[in-house]
Structure 1
Amino acid sequence: MHSDDLTPPATVTHTLAAGQCLSLQLRRGDRLWLAQGRLQARPPAQWLGERLWQPVAVWPEGHQDRVQDAGEWQWQALSAATLRLQRRPGLSARLVAWGAAWAKGVRARWPGRPARATSPPGTWPR
């Protein structure tokens, strides 16, 4: 289990000067938002037939994206830029949140249910 799996999603801000590069390892489901500037983005390389292909895109200010391809992403700032990253919570954190939501929903369905009566000593539980 990773320590990342227990922490809630937090927004990390990366500030880049013009020409500066940034490389990050991202997981599927992480969210990106370019708050300021322009970036040249390179998602992880992929095989296309028998060739390795790495697409390149220019992101304008305000661009938002959800990571579909996990791996190493690279950016180069075409102008001064501010990139915000919100990590997707790990599997254990999502399972705990799902369990808590399920339990809350079960309790909500029976709000006035009386407490279970105890069985007298020496008898089978009810």
Structure 2
Amino acid sequence: MDKKILIVEDDVVFCKLLTRFLRKNGFEVMDAQSGKDALELVNLNKFELAVLDYRLPDMTGIEILKEVKRKNPKSKIILITRYGDQDVASKAIDSGADAFISKPINPDELLQVILGFE
């Protein structure tokens, strides 16, 4: 697999856990812990998939989603959040997210969602 994935999660330990897990499963993965860092990566790379935390210290995952889609409209987006309310889910889908997952996330379940896009 040569799918390039962006993970944006402000929980550093969880972010690195997902990054390592997806790399072990054959993906090229880049990660960021803030919206600012994520946007820098988006401007320098083309991601086929982005896994975005909704609540970040400096912006929302939806703001990053819009930039990823602007740069590569075919990118798939998975939005994740601890705050699994319907408002966030519908806002994410309306903004172009392809999937929405509530925390806590099981990495194997995330992998199944990712593989489902192929």
- Structure ranking higher on relative contact order (CA contacts 8 Å, 6+ apart): 1
Flag the structure with higher strand content.
1
Flag the structure with higher helix content.
2
Greater radius of gyration (CA): 1
Tell me the TM-score normalised to structure 2 length: 0.25
